[in-house]
Amino acid sequence: MSIDSLVPERFGPLQGVRIISSGTLIAQPWAAELASEMGAEVIQIERPGVGDSGWRTLGIRLATADGSPPVATNWIQERRNIFCISLDLSKTQGRDLFLRLAARADIWMESSKPGTYPKFGLDDQTVFKINPKLVITHVSGYGQTGHPDYIRRASYDIVGQAFGGTMFQTGFPDPNPPTRAAPWTADYITALFTLWSSLAGLTYARSTGQGQSIDLAQYEAIHRTLGGTMIEYFEQHIVRERSGNRAQGFQPLDTFAAKDGWVVIGAVADVYKRLCRVIGLDAEDPKWQSARVNLESIEGIEFDAILRGWVNERTIDEVVQAMNEAQVPCSRIMSSDLMASDPHYQARGVHIEWHDEQLGRSVKGMGVVPRFSRTPGKVWRGSVKVGHDNSLVYGKVLGLSEGEIAQLRRDGVI
């Protein structure tokens, strides 16, 4: 829908798109924030006085300018460009205000267990009566339908990784425990599914005038990233096991210890021949060709030992330079301090500074990804307090007076 946007400057490929986001923590709200970096107007709904108490405060926190409670670095990074309002959906007035906002939106994203919003009188059919073009994206751990014992369950990132199947394959073989992918990989993958599916729904709505609801289960988003895992099981009853950082079925693709730290090296198909030449092996020798795919054979074990010995005799810089000069994929394993000082990160401007409203100063972190040639994204504002934009949103979008907004505040609705 064409809107009089609250965003102070039109930019990005999603300008003119209004998104209501009412979820908490990571996956769904981050999807909305990514859209805001591409020009969408995102209105984030939080509980009055409390807000998203988890993501605003969990982890390392920074002091605020006015002495209010410290704010989490995750929130500062992941809630830029967002209009934050407070609203109690359990109150009749809160429900009515929400429906008035939904009538003026393109997308509504939420994350909760099934049945949460119908309890507030906000089932899909009620919302569609107000705005039949709306795209509603429901994000939950186990989905809106399915086995009743599952859809009522709560979920976190680590639960999605466990139930979705990635965690069983992540880490080193027994007796080591399965390992989660850090920092919050299941949530971030779910966020990407949330955003692309919402935009796909919006494309259809704009071409047909018909909105629809989207049922996104976190575990299914994770499960979808398993490649051929399930075909292998259904066709040959193969259960993929944990193999550490090593690839299954070919080598090399693994971590390797240099003199002064760790690198990763991968060589697939013809790249394997280039790697052989780098470490002094005859790439045409059938022995080393066999070693590439027969990992547990004598030849395979010998090749692995030769490569590890070659890497271990050199520094990280020497290994990285030699491999990349031969067009063999290889990298140092990067940490925060290394990424901050790396010349390629700097040349591409990956890290930027912006003003954060809560800190009252500039902060440096990750910029906008990806890069659009004609309609680039941007960061125009940092994170704000709970209810910071109540007057702006309720006044400009819904046309409420300051007196009406003040009364809603006294009544605990906002």
Per the CB < 8 A criterion, the answer to whether 81 and 381 are in contact is yes
379 with 352: CB under 8 angstroms? Answer: yes
Catalytic residue among 52, 187, 356, 389: 187
The residue assigned the tokens 């002495």 is 67
Is residue 304 part of the annotated active site? The answer reads: no
Q: Counting beta carbons within 10 angstroms of the beta carbon of residue 228, is it exposed (0 to 12), middle (13 to 18) or buried (19 or more)?
A: exposed
The C-alpha atoms of residue 95 and residue 76 are separated, in whole angstroms, by 29
Q: Enter the DSSP assignment of 183.
A: T
Pairing mode, strands 82-86 and 61-62 = unpaired
**Residue 151 is encoded by which pair of tokens?**
């859809």
Neighbours of 12 (CB within 10 A): 23
Reading the block at residue 116, the tokens are: 């949460």
List the structure tokens of 12: 């990005």
Residue 174's contacts (CB-CB under 8 Å, 6 or more residues apart) are 242
Q: What is the largest CA-CA distance in the chain?
A: 84
State whether residue 344 is helix, strand or coil: helix
Report the catalytic residues. 187
